[in-house]
Each structure stands twice: as structure tokens, then as C-alpha cells.
Structure 1
Amino acid sequence: MGKFNRYLITAALPYANGPVHIGHLAGCYIPADIYVRYLRAKKADVKFVCGTDEHGVPITIKAMKEGVTPQDVVDKYHKIIGDSFAAMGISFDIFSRTSNQIHHKTSQEFFLKMYNDGLFEEKESEQYFDPEKNVFLADRYIIGTCPKCGNDKAYGDQCERCGTSLSPDELINPHSALSNAVPVKKKTKHWYMPLQNYEPWLKQWVLEEHKDWKNNVYGQCKSWLDSGLQSRAMTRDSNWGIQVPLPDAEGKVLYVWFDAPIGYISATKELTDNWADYWCKEDTKLVHFIGKDNIVFHCIIFPAMLKAHGNFVLPDNVPANEFLNLEGEKISTSRNWAVWVDEFVADFPDQQDVLRYVLCSTAPETKDNDFTWKDFQDRNNNELVAVFGNFVNRALVLMHKLCGGKVPKLHPAHIEEGDREIISEFATTKERIEKSIESYRFREALAEVIDFARKGNIYLQKNEPWKLASAIEKINKGETHEKFTAADLELLQARIDICLHICLQMSANLAIFCNPFLPFTAKKICHLLKVVDRMLEWENAGKTDLLKVGYSLRAPELLFKKIEDDQIKAQLDKLNNSRKKMEEAAKAAELAAQPAAPPKPEIQYEDFAKLDLRVGTIIKAEKVEKADKLLKLLVDIGTEQRTVVSGIAMHFAPEDIIGKQVTLVANLAPRKMRGIESQGMILMAEDKGKLVFVNPNEAVTPGSGVS
């Protein structure tokens, strides 16, 4: 790992306005945890810090919608997010929060140092203001009609229906989310960081000194730098956040993207008194794990802040991942199109490593990738169960059956070329995994782990120790015509021992190899092999003598269990039900917003008196062939039974309306519809897209007149 004596690993601070989903895990938290667990196994001096980001406009909007305080919102989601990470084995040294006082103090001191060094520009600008609430409005507090798609609930920074980036000036009929008042523009003062002053340094530092960064990271940084940087406000008008520590800054807070990355520093301060060793000594390796939407902040703005402040190390790498999609669609929290981590843990207890495995195997390391429940099932059943778990289980079962439950001897004199080949894989697999992890290619590293287990299965199958044991049994029983000497029997047993000795040592190595990726599984293997967790230290990887000859091992237990079709169907049904509910809610909201039907022209009493309205009872109903919207009804109106064709098939099932009383226009001229003569019209009321029958409150005699 080279010139570094300590490691500081950060994972993006999750925003505390909702739970975390699998896209978050795949984006940065599982990759970061893999890297940290590997470093710990190598006995590196490493700190892994994270925490919830608890300031900013979306939190105040959520609090407003739910009728609670912003503190209530962040308290709720800090716990949900923290519990989800813990359940998934994300091994932070600290999971802090930006509402802690130590963070407020650290951020304010950081700001003051830059302010006192004259590194900010003070600027006045016109910003939107709510004249009723007497507050400045962030873009998200301004709602209006999107000029692109007509959505009348678009925010001042983005339309969430069509995804268009907007400014408040572009909204049609803008109004305040706080009071519904029309916002006005008013002058306000803020402190800006002149990023353009750091552009030459950033070009050298990023584009020349970090050409080894991932293509997606390097490319996005180059695009920003080539376009030219501008001054960026580091403060906002708000009552929720970290107050700007200046006497003339009442009602102003630090920009959330100024204070959030400082959260890494404050969390380290909270974790250890030696925090400065990790942030200020040049032999520290700082690595930020993030998603691609945070690249600019971690590769340009935060490094510029650190450089401006001075005395801090800069990130050595920022291995950002792309986005994870779900069942072919973009994950959307607003549409509830997501797999929430807390729900997964409840639905699949003790199967966290399966999700870790699948999310790492399909991680969007270089491009957006897709999670599907079918792939989740297939990878579990065909790889974890059939390859990894099968190998370890077979090795233990055969050892108990053929070797008395103890680790057998290796018998060096009887080792063959195939044995030497598989033994050589111990060290080469270790080297390949190391190289891949240290290059942030975690998918590749995990593939080496599963391939090692696959090679073990092939080796076991080639040697077939169960057949050798069967041959020994037949010889001892005299069931063979061939003559065998004691030396022959000794060789057969030696071959059994060698095969299973190697397979058991492979199982021990699998525990070490998989520990960064599948920590719960690694501990299970240690339990079965009756070894302490210290065996998982990386210095033991590749060794061929981890289990001592004659050592008794526990009875085998399955490492993974098969995932059945009904479990996958339940998850797909949950997703589709979420989609259906969101679509229904959107449709209901759209209908609710529609104006009432306009009044029709005035008529005279004589016109109304011409109508013959009678109460009838539906005695038969059936669908009209090749007509999705039509039902054929037989209606009893006392003196006769009428056939009526009605366009209500999308609202009622035929069997549900038999016996219902309806109001019929009995003197309407007959009309043919789909070849059927309709002898009247049933009166219906429409309520927000839903049809209901116009009928009496209580049953009346069919044929009764309506007047």
C-alpha cells in the first residue's frame, strides 16, 4: 500500500430526509466498506467516517409537509439510516450527524478562518422573498407551473415530473410554498468563494496529478474545469442550518455543500483526539467514496476549500460509482420505485451477504447498471448456493464421513501435479484480489473469490474421494477380484486425505478472501472451522496450513439457502403495487385539480317535462363482444323489460350490478350500438373520474316515475 502510514476513508453523508435504498449501497457504502475491511485485515491504521447530512431546504420542506420540526425529521431518519447500515454490516468507526454541536463549531471555525484570510467575496444580489412570511425563499420553496411539461407543482430548481432543471424565473405563476403568496425580489448579502481563483491549481492537481482517477470522475472534473469556474455562494438565507458566525449575518446559514463535507472532519474529531493525524499529516491517504452526483463537490469545491484553508491533506482518490437502476427504470424515491434497505432486512433476515454479493457483482463501477429481482435470485442460487456454499459444505461433509471429523494429513510423498496446481492458486488468488481491491475494482476482486470456490469444486470433482472410499470399503470386504496390497490401501487413503486437506485449507482461505465482501459469511466459516476471527487477518491469506492436522471441526451447516420463486414474486408485487398506488394518487390529484363540469344552457320547464324518467332494476348484465367499454343490460321497468347498452364496463363488473336499481330515460329514441338496439339511457353521476348510479335511497317498485 506504499507510502501511507494511515488511511482516512469517508463515505458520502446520506441526506436525512428518507431511508436508504440499494442504489445508495451500491453507489458508495458497500465499496467503501469492502475497502476498509481489507485495510483492517492488513492491520492498517484506518478510520472510516460517515454521518447524516441534516441541513438544507429538502428537510425543511419535508418537515413542513408533515407538520413537524426539521429536528424531528432528521432525528427520525438518522436512526433509520444508521440501523440500516448496521444491519448490512457497513462498519463505520463513527456514524455522526451534522446537527451535532461539534460539527457546528468545526464548520464555523472553518468559515471564519477563510473569512479572516480575506478569501470570500461579499456580494449583494436580488433573491426571491415571501412578503407574508417575511423570509427569503430558496429555489425549492418556490412552486409554479413547469414551462416544459405543464406540471403545476414544479419546484424553482427542478420539475420532478419531466426532470428539467429550472430557475424560479422560468416558472409560470410562481408562488411561495410557505404562504402561497407571490414572491417578490429583494436584495440580500452573501459570501461567495471565488472558485475561479483556484482554477489553475485545480487543473494541475486534478488533470495532471490524478490521471489515474476513474474515467467517469476525471471526465466530469475536466468538463467543469474546461468550462471555467465561477464564484459560488457559501451562505444561504434560512433559519435551519449552521448560523454564519458574523455579526451582520442574522438569518443566514452556511450553504449545505459548504458544511456537509466538513462533516468528515467533525466526525473524525468526535471519534478521536488524534483527529489531526488523519487530516493534517502528509502520510495519510484520504479516499472519498461517493456516487457520481457528488463528484464536483468532492473533487473541485471541497478540495478548493481545503486548499484555501490550508493545513489539510487532499483526497488521494475519489472512486465514484455511476447509478444503479431497478428493474430497468431509474430508482425514484418520490415514486417509491426502490428497494429500501430496512424493508429488505425485514423480508430477508440473515441474508444481508446475499444483497452485498449481488450489489458488488453488479456494481455500476464504470456505467449505470441494473438490479433485478430475478438476477438477485439467480446469483444467490447459482453462485452463492451452488458454487461457494456447495464447496465448503461438501468439504466438511466428506471430512466428517471419510476422515472421522478431523483435518486429515497432507502426505507429501503422494502429492500429484493436480494438487500442486490447485495449491498454487492460493497465493495467486490472493495477489489478484489485492491488486483489484487496491485499484478499486471490487467486482473483479469478488469474481476472483467465487472463482476460487469454483476451482475447489472442480478439484473435488476430479479427485472424487467418495469413490476412493467406496473402493477401500469393497477391498476390505473382499468384494473385488483384484489383489491389493497394504501399500495400495495406504495410497487410496492418502489420496482421500490430500484432497480433503487441500479443500479444507481452501475453505479457510475463502473465509479470508470473502471477509471484505461477505463479512457475515466469513464469520460463519470461522465458526464451522472452530477458528478465531483473527484468522481473517490478510497475512494469513494464501497460506496452506491454516488448519492443523488432527483438528476436529464442527458439523457442516449451509452457508446460504435457496431463494424461492414466491419470495421474488412478493418483491415484484410490492414494486408494482407501489407503482400502481403512485399512479392512482397522481391520477386522483389530477382529477381533483380539474374544474367542475361547466353548466349547460338554460332550458324551460316544458323541455324537462318531455323526459320520461323511470326507476328500473337490472336483471341481467353481460359484456358486449369486442367492446371494452360497453355492457349489455336487461332492465325491468315494471311494464316491460328493456335492453340498454351502456358505456360503463370500465367501472363495473357485470355480476356486481345485477339487482341494482337505476334511473332510465324511458322515452329516448332507440339507437343501435354494436348491432344491438339500445332502448333507453341510464343516468350516471361522475365524481372525479368515478361513475355512480343515480338511484333512489331505498328500493321502489320498478317502473316508478321520477319527477
Structure 2
Amino acid sequence: MKDFKRTLITAALPYANGPIHIGHLAGCYIPADIYARYLRAQKKDVKFVGGSDEHGVPITIRAMKEGVTPQDIVDKYHAQIKESMAQMGISFDIYARTSDKIHHETAAAFFKELYDKGLFEERETEQFYDEKTNTFLADRYITGTCPVCGNPNAYGDQCEKCGSSLSPEQLINPRSTLSDAVPIKKTTKHWYFPLQNYEPWLKQWILEDHKEWKANVYGQCKSWLDNGLQPRAMTRDSNWGIKVPLPDAEGKVLYVWFDAPIGYISATKELTENWADYWCKEDTRLIHFIGKDNIVFHCIIFPSMLKAHGNFVLPDNVPANEFLNIEGQKVSTSRNWAVWVHEYVKDFPGCEDALRYVLCSNAPETKDNDFTWKDFQDRNNNELVSIFGNFVNRTFVLMHKLCGGKVPPLHAATLDDTDKAIISDIQQSVARVQTALDNFRFRDALFEVIDLARKGNKYMQEKEPWIVAKHLTADNPERERNQQKIDNCLHLCLQLTANLAILINPFLPTAAGKMLYMMKVVERMLDWENAGKINLLSVGYTLRAPELLFRKIEDAEIAAQLEKLKAGSEQQPEPVASIKPEATDGKRQTAVPIATGIKPEIVFDDFSKIDLRTGTILSAEKVAKADKLLKLEIDLGFEKRVIVSGIAQHFSPEALPGKKVVVVANLAPRKMRGIESNGMILMAEDAAGKLVFVAAGDEAPDGAAIS
């Protein structure tokens, strides 16, 4: 890898139109914070910038709903989001705002630079317009009846009842949300960025030069490039946003996805007068942490803008995460199906590290994952409390009880194989954690830290210093040797504890701080160069009494959260009859129930959300006490998956290894008979009703995307 002098880390700018939820944290903010803390521990030159995205349609819609101004909305939610980030330990060097003057000036200057170079295409198009309010309408300002499910309040871009992606032209009886008037089409002028001109460069830069990017990022970029890029409008008709800096652009603002990523630049400008070092020098490493819905903007559109401008560095990596579902359902802010961060910190005071731990250990790094309150409780109680916290607490309790509260000496001559093994475990764990962090595998890194604590518990259990202490009687000829055994055990456990503090600090900073306090050492001990050393705590040094690092989460607390989630969300939509799609002559038809046959029509965006991959069955076995289920191990090329499939009555397990299959790879995990199933295999029925595999053919390699 290229030797970079400095690193600039960005995390996606959340819309300041509402509070943040745990999906935001899992998607980019916790991973970005872990990486920033890790680089700081290595004494690297690093800046971590973020901020609120305060322009765009969601802001104005929220203002309209609440009967206030857009500025009122962004002032309210920027403050709330910033506080939530701080409460969760997200250690931004700056958390800025795109409504600030410095950002307006930076974004406008960026646009003007591209305009002066003659890079924009001016186009006139017809858009929906509200004659009563004299306003061009964004898709979200138009509502009507959904052509798929009949919902009378569908938006012009999506029906939030059935989830269908829509366009205003598809709505039945469309109307303006501003005045309830029927919108008309009116000509308007906008400036388009010719994205297609950068396609050859993007193919080389991404597909050839950045093959190390995560498979989900690389694959989505390849799909966009394979389908061909089109010009994209970089302006909008609105009075809220950054005014287009041209004399003939009255009522025009910059497209929010043009101005938002420039917010990273303006935030860095606000942070330091040396901002150009982080944006304009080739020895800077730029890393964007985002969710998968922002991949196209950060990997294709923004880099093309930077390339067109010509004076900025390009992102070296974009480690995007997938989505986090909640209790088996997609997060829905409109239905209040979410776990809000500001509510969590009130309901679980002092448990911020617990949430950070669970969201990292269950992070959707390669596929959508599911957050459940039961899993939250289990991981906290069985891993944080019973493994990590238990080891640290036992070490301090025994040190005070058997060693007078001081770090005992290490007797090198009497170290046995078990002692030497735990020293090796410490050093090997550090190497594995560092490799995982360097490659953005935060889940794997955290597992290694917890596993080291697990090994510490095992080591202590094997040594049993509390039993050895019973043989320290004055008349025992082995008294001195037994004391050395106790000293060696607790000395190494304390050094392991110090190493755990270093390793856990990027993940759980509050716990690391408590451990520093108990060990009476300064923050400098957390420097990464100290990881792996076994002389971090000086012999004879007095340590403080133990404090519990984590607390157990009780059943009643989990029950309350489940009830809160259920009560706060809207009732699930009642099943509705399917309706026929549009008539072939283009005229809309009245909704007519269909008893059987093809499901309701979908649009391409619905289908494009499904990630179909080829795979090979490696093994198959019956699931105990389940006549219909088989547990399959599938090779997807880039990883192996366990999938539980209800095909046991159609196939014998021994006949399946080697079979080519097609897998829905981004289906949310689901537990079946205690086994987590990570995907679904496509099957079809033959004329006799027997299931047969849908396969892509032997020539398709495992993991190949099907489109």
C-alpha cells in the first residue's frame, strides 16, 4: 500500500430532518470512529470530519409538516444529532453544518469552477409545477394513489405502505402537498453534469486500480458502470439550499448531492487552516465511511466532480456497510420502527459501550444484518459481562486479595508452558487485531479482543491461584514456589488486562477509560506501540480497587423495549387485494382484485434491490426435529454461508454436495430451529410438483452476480 503521510476520514452527513437511529451508527459512524481512534493510537496524522446535511427536500417536507421554517428544523435536529453522536463517543474532530456560511461559499465556488471550465450542459425539461404556490415540485411534494397497492397517500418517489418505488407520472390522481392542487408540467432549465464523460476514467480507477475495495462496493460500482452513466442534474428549483452562483439562476439551488459531499471540504476548512494538506496533497489518504445507499454518490459522482475540478485528492477507500434491520423488519422512520439513539441513552444510562459493542459485533459489513433486543441482551450479558468484564474483575479482586493490591513480580525462571502460552496469545492477538483493523474488518478485530479475554479466563482457571494460596502455610516446603506461581499468574493477568485496555479502546472508549483509572496509568499507555508488551504495569505499583465495567441487562428492560417498539410503530398494513397493472394502451384502469396469477407489477428499482449470486453446495444435513429442513453450507466464492432450506422432502442430503444453485444473498438473516440462515435458494416446481434447482450453469463461477 502507498505510504501516506496523513489520513482524512469522513462519515456520511445525516439529514437534519429528524433524530438518528442505530442503523446510522452501525452503517458508518461507529466503524469510522473505531478507525479514527485506531489511527490516533498509532500517532498518525488523522482528521475525522462530519456534519449535518441541512439542505434538500426532506428538510422542507419536515418543516411543512411541523408548520415551521426549514431553518427551525435544521437548528433543532443538528443540535440533537450532534449531542447523540457525542453521547455515543463518536469522536469527530469537527461536526459541522452545511447551512454555515463557509460551506455555502465553498460549494458555490466549486460549482462556479466547473461552470467556468464549460463542463455543465444546460437543459430545459418539463417538471411538475404547482400553479397555486408558483413552485416546481420535487417528487416528494407530490402525492396520489399508489398504482400497486391503492394507498391514497403515496409519494411521488415511493409508496411507504407497500414499499414500491414510483415516479410522479405513475401516481393516480396526483396532487401537490403544498396546496392540494393538481400539478401541471412546466418547462424549467437546469445544469447537468456529463457523468458519461468520466465513465472510461472511472472504469480504470475503480475496476482496475481499486480491486481491493469491499465486494459490495466494487460490485455496485461495476453494475452502474456496466449499465452506462447518464448526465445528472446538479441544480434544483427551490428556495432552500445553496443558490446557484449564476446571474440567470433565480429560484435555483445546488442539488443536495452536489453540495453535501463538498461539506467534507468545508468542514475541514473550518477545522484547520491547513485544510489543503488534507484535500490537495497526494500523500493524503481519503477514506469515506458510508452506508450502501450512498455508494454511487461517493464512488462515482463525487470522485468525478473532484476529478473535473482537478485540485483535490480522490478517495482511497470507501468501506460501505449494508443495512441493519430491527427485529426482522427494515427500519422505517415513517412507522417509527427504529431504535432512536437519543432515547437509548436515556433508557440505558451508562451503557453506551454496550450498544457500540453489539452494533460492531453484529455489523452489516458484507450483508444486511438484524438487530434484536434479545441478541443485544445476550451479547452484553454473555460476552461483555461474563467474558471481558469478568476477567478484568477477577484479576483485580485476586490481586488485592493475594498480592496486597500491588503488581506482583514476574519470576522468569519459574514460568511454565501455560504461562508462556498466554504471553504468546497476547502478542498473536495484537497482530490479528491490527491486520483486521487495517483491512476494515472491525467485526473480526473485536472478536479477537474478546477471544483474548476468553483465553485470559481460561488461563486463570487453569492456574487457580486461589487454590494455590491455600498452600502458603509456613511449614510447607513449597511455599516460596507456590507464591511464585501466584505472582506469575496475576502478573500476567494484569499485563493482559493492560493490553486489553489498548485493544478495546477503539471500540469501547468508556471501558478503556475505566480500566486506565483502575490501573492508575495515564492515557499515553493506550498508544498502539504498547500493544503486545508484558511490562506495561510496574512491579510493586499499587492499583485501585476493581469497578464493574459493564452491567447486566435485565429481562424487564428488554420486554419494555419490545413493547415500546411495538407501541410506537404504526399497525402493519392490512392485506389488500392485488390490482391489475396499467392497460396496454396507456390508460389507467380502476383497481380490480385479482384472485390468482401474477403478483402486482414492480418497477426495475424493486428488482435491483435483490442480490442474486451463484454458489455451490458444499455439504448438506438434516435439521433435527424438522422433517422439511436441510442445513446447507454454500460456497459463494467470496465467503461460505449456512442456509436452512425447506427441501428435505425433495432431496436426500448426500445427493446435494456439488450442486450449483442461485442464492438471494442479501436476505436478512433468520433463525430456524436455532440455526441462523443467511440467504435463500431459488427453487421452482416441475409439472409433478417436485422442487428443482434454479441454476445459472456450471460455467458461472461461485459468487457471480446475476442480473
Distance 2:125 2:2 in 1: 49
- Partner SS, residue 329 of structure 1: coil
In structure 2, the residue corresponding to 1:389 is in which secondary structure?
Answer: helix
Structure 2 partner of 1:272: 272
**Could you tell me how far 1:583 is from its partner in structure 2?**
5.6
Q: In the aligned structure 2, how far is the partner of 1:139 from the partner of 1:188?
A: 15
SS at match of 2:398: helix
Structure 1 counterpart of 2:86, one-letter code: A
- What is the rounded CA distance, in whole Å, between the counterparts of 1:496 and 1:272 in structure 2? 52
Give a deviation string over 1:468-487, Cα, whole Å, max 9, x none.
Answer: 10111xx33x6xxxxx42xx
Residue 488 (structure 2) pairs with residue 498 (structure 1): yes
- What is the 5 A alignment of 1:440-479? 440-472=440-472, 475-476=473-474
In the TM superposition, residue 321 of structure 1 has moved relative to its aligned partner by: 0.3
The answer as to 2:521 corresponding to 1:531 is yes
Of residues 550, 566, 571, the one that matches 1:576 is: 566
CA distance in 2, matches of 1:47, 1:366: 26
Amino acid paired to 2:196? Q
Whether 1:108 aligns to 2:98 is: no
Contact 2:28–2:289 (CA under 8 A) maintained in structure 1: yes
SS at 1:330 equivalent: coil
**AA aligned opposite 2:517:** H
Shift of 1:586: 13
- Aligned to 1:535, the other structure's residue is in SS state helix
Q: 1:584: how far off?
A: 10
Report the CA distance shift for 1:74/1:357 in structure 2 as closer, same or farther (over 3 A). Answer: same
Report the Cα offset of residue 428 of structure 1: 1.2
| Whole-angstrom distance in 2 between the partners of 1:457 and 1:420 | 15
Task: Give the TM-score of the pair, scaled to structure 1.
Answer: 0.80
Indicate conservation of the 8 Å contact 2:26/2:324, yes or no: yes
After the TM superposition, which residues 118-133 of structure 1 pair with which residues of structure 2 at under 5 Å, given as runs?
118-133=118-133
In structure 2, distance between residues paired with 1:409 and 1:539 = 23
1:650 corresponding residue in structure 2: none
Which one-letter code corresponds to 2:183 in the other structure? P
Secondary structure of the residue aligned to 2:128 is strand
Q: Could you tell me which residue of structure 1 aligns to residue 179 of structure 2?
A: 179
Structure 2 match to 1:516: 506
Q: CA deviation at 1:93?
A: 0.2
Question: For residue 218 of structure 2, what is the aligned residue in structure 1?
Answer: 218
Residue 556 (structure 2) pairs with residue 556 (structure 1): no
* Residue 420 (structure 1) aligns with: 420
Identity %: 72
1:430 aligns with 2:430: yes
> Is 1:73 the equivalent of 2:73?
yes
Counterparts in 2 of 1:667-682, with a 5 A limit? none
For 2:282, what is the secondary structure of its paired residue?
A: coil
Q: CA separation of 1:148/1:219 partners in 2, compared to 1, >3 Å: closer, same or farther?
A: same
Is 1:323 the counterpart of 2:323 in the alignment?
A: yes
Per the normalisation by structure 2, the TM-score is: 0.80
Confirm whether residue 41 of structure 1 aligns to residue 31 of structure 2. no
Q: Which residue of 2 aligns with 1:641?
A: none
Unaligned segments of structure 1, at least 5 residues? 479-483, 588-707
* CA distance in 1: counterparts of 2:515 and 2:368, whole angstroms: 34
Match of 1:665 in 2: none
Paired AA for residue 229 in structure 1: L
Matched residues in 2 for 1:440 and 1:300: separation? 21
Change (3 A) 1:101 1:582: farther
SS in 1 for 2:205: helix
Aligned residue type for 1:514:
I
Shift of 1:262: 0.3
How much is the aligned-residue C-alpha RMSD, in angstroms? 1.3
Q: Residues 205-242 of structure 1: CA distance to partner in whole angstroms, max 9, x if unpaired?
A: 01111111001000000000000000000000000000
1: CA distance, partners of 2:163 / 2:271: 40
Q: Alignment partner of 2:133: what SS?
A: coil
**Distance in 2 between residues matched to 1:387 and 1:65, nearest whole Å:** 48
Q: Of the candidates 504, 512, 532, which is equivalent to residue 542 of structure 1?
A: 532
Match of 1:284 in 2: 284
Secondary structure, in 3 states, of the residue corresponding to 1:91? Answer: coil
In structure 1, how many angstroms separate the alpha carbons of the residues matched to 2:392 and 2:368? 34
Q: How many Å separate the matches in 1 of 2:113 and 2:126?
A: 27
Partner of 1:21: 21
Residue 530 of structure 2 is aligned to residue 567 of structure 1:
no
Larger Rg: 1
Could you tell me which residue of structure 1 aligns to residue 235 of structure 2? 235
Match of 1:293 in 2: 293
Consecutive unaligned residues of structure 2, counting only runs of 5 or more, are 577-707
Moved more, 284-293 or 125-134: 125-134
Q: Which shows bigger deviation, 12-21 or 132-141?
A: 132-141
What is the CA distance between 1:417 and its match in structure 2? 1.1
Within 2, Cα distance between the matches of 1:330 and 1:565? 24
Classify 1:583/1:426 alpha carbon distance in 2 versus 1 (closer, same or farther; 3 Å).
Answer: closer
CA drift of 1:156 comes to 1.2
Q: Which digits, 9 at most, give the CA deviation of each residue in 1:613-651, with x for residues without a partner? A: xxxxxxxxxxxxxxxxxxxxxxxxxxxxxxxxxxxxxxx
Report deviation, 1:2.
Answer: 5.2
The correspondence of residues 115-154 of structure 1 with structure 2, limited to 5 A, is 115-154=115-154
Instruction: Supply the distance in 2 between the matched residues of 1:415 and 1:174 (Cα, whole angstroms).
Output: 80
The one-letter code sitting in structure 1 at the alignment partner of 2:325 is N
